[in-house]
Amino acid sequence: MKLRRYLLLAFLAVFLGTAVAAAIVVRGWTRDLPSLDALENLRLTSTTTVFARDGTPIAQLASEEGGITITRMLVKLEDVSPAAVAAIVASEDQRFFRHYGIDWIRIAGAFWQTLRGNLQGGSSISVQVIKNTLLRNLSGVRTLERKFKELPLAIQLERLYSKEEILEMYLNVSFWGGNLWGIRAASEAYFGKDPAELTLAEGAYLAALIPGPNARFRDLPRVRRRMKTLLEQMVREGWITQAMADAAWREPVVPNGWKAEYDAEGNLVSAELLDPGANSLPDLEVEVAPHFVYEIRKELIRRFGRAKVFGQGGLRVYTTLDVEMQRAAEEAAQAAVKRGLPEGAQLALVGLDPETGEVYALLGALPGTEGEFNRATQLGDGKGRSPGSAIKPFVYTAALGAGWSQASMVEDKEVSFPDPTQPDGVWKPKNYDGTYLDRAVTIRYAMDRSLNVPAILTADALGVRRLAGELQAAGFQVPKNPGLSIAIGGGIGATPLQMAAAYAAFVNGGWRVEPQLILRVEDQQGHVLYEARPLRQRLWNPDVAYLGWDMLKGYVYDEDPLGRGNLAWRARIPGRVVGGKTGTSNNARDLWFAGATRGMSAVVWIGRDDNQPMQMNGREPSSSVVNPPIWRQFVENALRGRPAGEPAAPEGLVQVRMDLLNGEANAIGTPAYFRIGHTPMPSTLPVGASILIGLEPGRDCLAGPEWPPEQLRWKAVPPGEVARYRCD
């Protein structure tokens, strides 16, 4: 009897001691529970969405958590298919709408198995919300400590939030395999659709994945068995009818990455996993304009830091991209490929608003060849490539700013300059075709014919340092010790984006605009984190800018009094006034056309990635032949239906007709603008005078620059009849 009493007392002592110890342990575990107030401010790691200027989604940037890529796109409960919601609730927590945070029936069984060393889950939906949010640092550990933390928090959660709010949280925080968090990412990855479009069968499939999504995704037969059990359970519990279950079972569910066949009764006949990685979404998913999106990603990191962009994510980025203009750029590039490009050539195209710098369209490569390398912004490792003669409008506009006029005369003849880098210590620049006019010409004519020697002599007259400073202010990259060759692009670097921003100054009154790709950035709650404003810097006074624009127009529209065809007539757009300039670097390594019109500054670059000379049909390609048609097609289609016209001439300027060669006023000459008081002196052309024009062999068509002079037919015609010989 005494022994029995001692044993009972000993048992009670051990029991009480164990209970006290357990209570102390549990109290320690639950002492520092996080407050549920944190749920109000909880920032779930989620995917950043990038939008075009009209609100069209164009890309998604996955975020990171613990060094792991997370694709999570938050969704409202009402935006999820009710059938899918029912399947998930029936599978994960069938008494969800009847308990108060904890399913004691389910958890009792799981607790007993855990004490026996066989860890099993008994988590309700509320508990899983806690586990994947407030206790996510412990989510990978199945311990009693974590469970004792989860239970009181789940009860509090039910007191603070409605069942619908908790269910919405659950759908956004659940793991569905790979890098998929939340039902929206899962729906897109497995079925390529929004969660609102999920069928009952697809919802049952997603529900069947949840306990172990990575392993179950690779075992479709196992998931099908679980789906059948789940559908039968849903019928028993009144979620669906038997007819609905039968229809769902017969629906052939084939998740992305699988090849599967079913019989008429819904039984799986064959299944083959073709892509084990299909249960993940790309880190960067781009719908349109990949290189534009790459630039957005870089700018977001620069502006907010990598931790904000990828660690937190969930940003809504509204950009300057115009989807229709981007499509116009792609179509222009595709048409160029069909016409033919130099062997091994790549292409970049940029179009932006000359007033604000907002980038409407950006191509960093030929469509279909997109990699991460962005030729619109990364040419020459970001230092750009030589613009060739496309720099000349800035040389002559600098001269106009120094008091010159379009009628100012400059020699076109053989010249030489000391240059220790040359073999004989002398630099003898030549024009593109190796010839000289051996006379003085106006700077307007010099630019019309893209003559090198007059541009170099203009730079010499201005001073190299002064010109280099102006080019740098326009956004070009200038060498530390520039020489006169900068007047023809020597040592100058430019990317297509920089070039487009620089050319905007010709049509916006003389402002150098900073390219803008982002309009606004919001966080998950809609708070504005960044809003763009135009960044402009005065480059030229309005009168200087307009005189430069007048010369730029002349390059496209002027008729050569010596009879050669206009170099840029292929850039003309009916109903619009455009101006632009071609550019070709040494040995045709780079081909450019940069131009502007009302509402658009645009640039087309063509070249090889290895910076080697290009060939086309066995000879050196010409930028005046290859680039302007691409530019014209893009700008014409991009601006279709938008206002045309050109900038208004500022006060103090007057238009006078002048002889392009000698700069004298001439009643039948070329219209050009001058400052009042600096107009050319009048002269007359003798009645009946004619000029020589060069015609293509076999056709009465003005010859373009691609024709060698020795192959042309020369004809004397009155100046007013020159236009009759133009063939488009």
| 72-279 and 352-509+540-651, same CATH topology | no
The answer to whether 573 and 597 have CB atoms below 8 angstroms apart is yes
Residue 707 scores a pLDDT above 90: no
For 480-484, 541-545, 627-631, which range has the lowest pLDDT when averaged over its residues? Answer: 480-484
DSSP 704-728: -TTS-GGGPEEEEE-GGGGGGG---
In percent, the amount of the chain with pLDDT more than 70 equals 82
Q: What are phi and psi of 288, to 5 degrees?
A: -140, 165
Please name the residue ranges forming H helices in 312-413: 323-339, 392-401
HSE of 111, CA atoms in CB hemisphere, 13 A: 13
- CB distance 63 to 46 below 8 Å: yes
Question: What is the pLDDT at residue 468?
Answer: 95
Q: Are strands 600-607 and 346-352 parallel, antiparallel or unpaired?
A: antiparallel
Assess if CATH 3.30.70.1450 describes domain 72-279.
no
- Average pLDDT value for residue range 357-362: 98
Q: Is 83 exposed, middle or buried (0-12, 13-18, 19+ CB in 10 A)?
A: buried
Q: What is the pLDDT of residue 166?
A: 87
Distance CA 130, CA 9 (A): 41
Q: Residue 594 and residue 308: Cα distance in Å, rounded?
A: 37
Q: How far is CA 607 from CA 346, 419, 579, in A?
A: 5, 29, 23
Residue tagged 């990171």 (tokens): 64
Map 123-134 to HEC letters.
Answer: CCHHHHHHHHCC
- Quote the pLDDT of residue 12: 58
Whether residue 120 has pLDDT greater than 50: no
531: left (phi over 0), alpha (psi -120 to 50) or beta: beta
Residues 6+ apart with CB under 8 A from 293: 50, 58, 59, 284, 286
> Where does the pLDDT of residue 642 fall: very low under 50, low under 70, confident under 90, or very high at 90 and above?
very high
Strand pairing of 316-319 and 48-51? parallel
**Whole-number Å distance between alpha carbons of 127 and 146:** 11
pLDDT tens by residue, 175-206: 898 888 889 889 999 999 999 999 999 999 99
Q: 502 versus 71: which is more confidently predicted? A: 502
Q: Is the pLDDT of residue 142 over 70?
A: no
> 670, 657 in Cβ contact below 8 A?
yes
- What are 705-709's contacts with CB under 8 Å, separation 24+? 705/564, 705/565, 705/567, 705/622, 705/624, 705/625, 706/622, 706/624, 706/625, 709/433
b/e burial code for range 200-218 (CB count within 10 A of at least 16 → b): bbbbbbbbbbbeebeebbe
Mean pLDDT comparison of 19-28, 306-315, 591-600, highest-scoring range: 591-600
Q: Where are the domains of the chain?
A: 72-279, 352-509+540-651, 695-725
Check whether 266 has a pLDDT greater than 80: yes
- The CATH number of domain 352-509+540-651 is 3.40.710.10: yes
CA pair distance 578, 556, nearest whole angstrom: 7
Q: How confident is the model at residue 689 (pLDDT cuts 50, 70, 90)?
A: very low
Give the model's confidence band at 368: pLDDT under 50 very low, under 70 low, under 90 confident, else very high: confident
Query: Sorting pLDDT into bands at 50, 70 and 90, what band is 73?
Result: confident
- Region for 599 from its dihedrals, namely left if φ exceeds 0, alpha if ψ lies in -120 to 50, beta otherwise: left
Confidence of residue 119 (pLDDT cuts 50, 70, 90): very low
The confidence score (pLDDT) of residue 65 equals 59
Comparing 495 with 717, which gets the higher pLDDT? Answer: 495
Give the least confident one: 157-161, 295-299, 389-393: 157-161
